[in-house]
Amino acid sequence: MKKTLLLLLAGLMMTSARADEGMWIPMLIGKNYEDMQRLGLRLSKEDLYDINHSSIKDAILQFGGGCTAEMISGNGLLLTNHHCGYDAIANLSTVDRDLLDNGFWAHNLQEELPANGVTALFLQRMDDVTDEVKAAIGSATGEEYTKKFDAIRKQIEEKAAEKGKYVANVKDYFNGNQFFLLIYKRYTDVRLVGTPPKSLGKFGGDTDNWVWPRHTSDFSMFRVYADSNNQPKPYNAMNVPYHPKKFLPVSIKGEQEGDYAMIFGYPGRTNRYEVSYGVDLAINVTNPAIVACRDLRLSIMHRHMDMNKGTYLQLTSLYSRIANYWKYYIGQTEQLKRLNVVDKKMKQEDAFSKWEIDNHLDAGLLGKFGKIYADYTPYAKHSVYYSEGFRASSLARMASALKPLYDAYERNASTIKGKKVYTMSEDTIKKYIASAKMAYRANIKDFDPGTEKDMMTEMTQLYYQNVPKEQLPDIYVNVIFKNKKTVDKSTYAAYTDIVFAHTFLTDSNKFNEFCNKPSYEKLKNDEAVKYALSFVNNYSKNYQPKVESFASQKAELSREYVRELLMKNKDKLMYPDANSTMRISYGKVLSYDPQDGVHDNYFTTLDGLIAKYKPGSEEFDAPKELIDLYKAKDYGRYADADGKLHTCFITNNDITGGNSGSPVMNANGELIGAAFDGNWEAMSGDIAFDKKYKRTIVCDVRFILFLIDKVGHADNLIKEMDIRQ
């Protein structure tokens, strides 16, 4: 296929591309430039993306692996969302010094706090490597395709990384019809600079999450540090602030309805090519299963976090992540139904099948999709309950990580004088122990004994109640229910007590003792290991192959489907699904009508926050300093022309998870806000974009600056930025 065709992508509804729809590749943004100018952009193409000179792409970074941030000063100061910095802030908090609840502001560089584990990834350039990858893959399919792709990907990445100087990733676009090499610099010395108290950073909590109107000050600030040559270096007291090639000026002029709005960022995943069978499965099987598991998981965590402040700080970041997508899947399901997405897709697929016949192609592609979904559906719920239910327990995850060592002992068993002996080389044992230790460290931070006991008890019961009986692991019949005439919650609780009383995994000292002197006998007699391996072996032997076979077949069909869609829509400007790489979206500030007879304005104000304010509420509290400032109407230069302090606004930009923290810029490339959410009426957007309802919720930069200045009294940060009236 010609390269020009590979630079296209059909939108889900197969309509011509619109300014508000699309997550566009920065390197190819020139194809959209006229449309962007028509909407009001006053920058050149080179101002947006240029590998030879500084451009806006140099001010944008992937933050912490799952969010976006932007440089807002020449001294490495960055802005992202509060929920993106949440984990780092919680980790830096203690019961005696609770930065999460009380907020934090560094008034000089010496007060900034190292955020261990947080990374800042800056894109250096993108290269189209489609021809090289496709030549290496040839006509391979299935496992051979994966093997050849992994080999050529590794070869390209190793060469581009220049022995660790860069991070290099080969990513597929258009479902494997195009490939780009992305080259980054990774900075690991990142320090917390400022955050509002949680009451403001998460104002509205789960109630307001994914909802407009909104009044949340969802932002936090960090600083990137480098060595004296501005190069990446692990944390060191001698490191200095990083000097970016580009940082964004900040506009406090304010936005009006219809103003141009542009977003750069790292959107995670969209699936707008999903066929009707996949949407139907999500609505009726997988999404409800995810919600059920997370419902239970959240309720267990919540009651234990309420009982103990230490547990709250330990689990709050995990809780927040689980809750975010718990509500997401509820909303996605509701909106997929409301917008009749299955029916719309079926009509598109009928038209596609007719086009196949008219163009003498191998017709019947959609029928093949139907066959693989029919084969997979009986196991789809089990797959969800395994990942979201069984693996909800930290203890289960830690025990599961010992399976490779257990299996290695089994493989190396021999019989000597009628007795089984398990022998392995010291190096082999060390390899498996190192892997187990890594998993243990990753999971023990979320391990709270009380929470974990309830998690194992109630998740084991939920698993039994929802997974088809013929698919269950044998631990139920052979152990949990053995010699039991009746089964209820107490049955599961009693079994959990046995597991916790007879495992070395709940005690780090005992775990370390095992690692220092591992043995097969200790493993096979450990009740947590028995429990975990029953689930893991059942799933890996009987159901994981079905899941992987489905995924492989779907990938093959999807490549062909998108390839033909590109041919069918070759005269249209198209964009690829999000894949955690840098994208640009553009549109405008725009109000909307969420339902008949209801109009939602494009902005909110501090008046609305105060109207929601409930002293002592978990979700709608606010600090006294803010209340006092509101009463005095002391908004400084951050008030709008109407005299009010605007808190948030909405645009019709196309974003998804991963865009959290993305800069929202005006026509001059000036920062006007930080994107942090989508709206309830368009939560089907990752699968089906809806022009009428889709909105991006943005924290107004004037609200951010007001809180930094008036509440945080961090005028040092205000002076550091290029603020324009």
pLDDT digits (tens, 9 = 90+) for 281-306: 999 999 999 999 999 999 999 999 99
Tens digits of residue pLDDT in 37-74: 999 999 999 999 999 999 999 999 999 989 999 999 99
Tens digits of residue pLDDT in 339-390: 999 999 999 999 999 999 999 887 799 999 999 999 999 999 999 999 999 9
User: 82: closest CA among 108, 59, 100?
Assistant: 100
| pLDDT the model gives residue 368 | 97
Reported as type and span, the H/E element at residue 663 is: strand 663-665
Domains and CATH numbers, the chain: 3-248 (no CATH), 386-452+461-541 (no CATH), 586-724 (2.40.10)
332-336, 420-424, 466-470, 698-702: lowest mean pLDDT where? Answer: 420-424
| pLDDT the model gives residue 141 | 93
Tens digits of residue pLDDT in 202-261: 999 999 999 999 999 999 999 999 999 999 999 999 999 999 999 999 999 999 999 999
| pLDDT the model gives residue 413 | 81
| pLDDT the model gives residue 567 | 94
User: 206: closest CA among 694, 618, 622?
Assistant: 618
| pLDDT the model gives residue 205 | 96
The answer to whether residue 660 scores a pLDDT higher than 80 is: yes
Task: Using pLDDT thresholds of 50, 70 and 90, give the confidence band for residue 515.
Answer: very high
Q: What does the angle CA 278 – CA 284 – CA 289 come to, to the nearest 5 degrees?
A: 105
| pLDDT the model gives residue 11 | 35
User: 333: closest CA among 290, 272, 380, 274?
Assistant: 290
Strand-strand pairing, 603-605 and 646-651: antiparallel
CB atoms within 10 A of CB 707: 29
The answer to whether residue 102 scores a pLDDT higher than 90 is: yes
| pLDDT the model gives residue 420 | 76
Rg of the chain, C-alpha, whole Å: 27
Reported as type and span, the H/E element at residue 260 is: strand 260-265
* DSSP secondary structure letters along 196-217: --HHHHTTTHHHHTT-SS----
Residue whose structure tokens are 């069984």 = 390
Task: Using pLDDT thresholds of 50, 70 and 90, give the confidence band for residue 17.
Answer: very low
Collapse the DSSP code of 603 into the 3-class scheme (helix H, G, I; strand E, B; otherwise coil) and give the result: strand
| pLDDT the model gives residue 620 | 98
Please state the separation of Cα 325 from the chain's center in Å. 9
User: Which CA distances in Å does 206 have to 57, 324, 327, 619?
Assistant: 33, 8, 8, 8
CB 647 within 8 A of CB 208: no
The DSSP call for residue 184 is: E
Strand intervals (E) in 313-459: 413-416, 419-422
Tens digits of residue pLDDT in 120-154: 999 999 999 999 999 999 999 999 999 999 999 99
Q: State the Cα–Cα distance between residues 575 and 546, nearest whole angstrom.
A: 32
| pLDDT the model gives residue 419 | 76
| pLDDT the model gives residue 10 | 33
The answer to whether residue 427 scores a pLDDT higher than 70 is: yes
Q: Kindly list the catalytic residues.
A: 83, 218, 660
Peptide bond into 473 cis (omega under 30): no
| pLDDT the model gives residue 361 | 87
Q: What does the angle CA 439 – CA 300 – CA 89 come to, to the nearest 5 degrees?
A: 60
What's the mean pLDDT when you consider all of the chain? Answer: 95
Collapse the DSSP code of 222 into the 3-class scheme (helix H, G, I; strand E, B; otherwise coil) and give the result: strand
Output b/e per residue, 104-141; b: 16+ Cβ within 10 A: bbbeeeeebbbbeebbbbbbbbbbbbbebbbebbeeee
Tens digits of residue pLDDT in 386-412: 999 999 999 999 999 999 999 999 998
For a pLDDT cut of 90, what percent of the chain falls above it? 93
Query: Residue 490, exposed/middle/buried by CB under 10 A (0-12, 13-18, 19+)?
Result: exposed
| pLDDT the model gives residue 344 | 97
Mean pLDDT value of segment 687-701:
96
Q: State the Cα–Cα distance between residues 721 and 52, nearest whole angstrom.
A: 25
Mean pLDDT value of segment 631-655:
97
The pTM is what?
0.94
| pLDDT the model gives residue 415 | 76
Tens digits of residue pLDDT in 576-629: 999 999 999 999 999 999 999 999 999 999 999 999 999 999 999 999 999 999
| pLDDT the model gives residue 9 | 35
Q: State the Cα–Cα distance between residues 438 and 394, nearest whole angstrom.
A: 13
CB 268 within 8 A of CB 580: yes
The answer to whether residue 12 scores a pLDDT higher than 70 is: no
Strand intervals (E) in 301-371: none
Q: What does the angle CA 200 – CA 206 – CA 212 come to, to the nearest 5 degrees?
A: 75
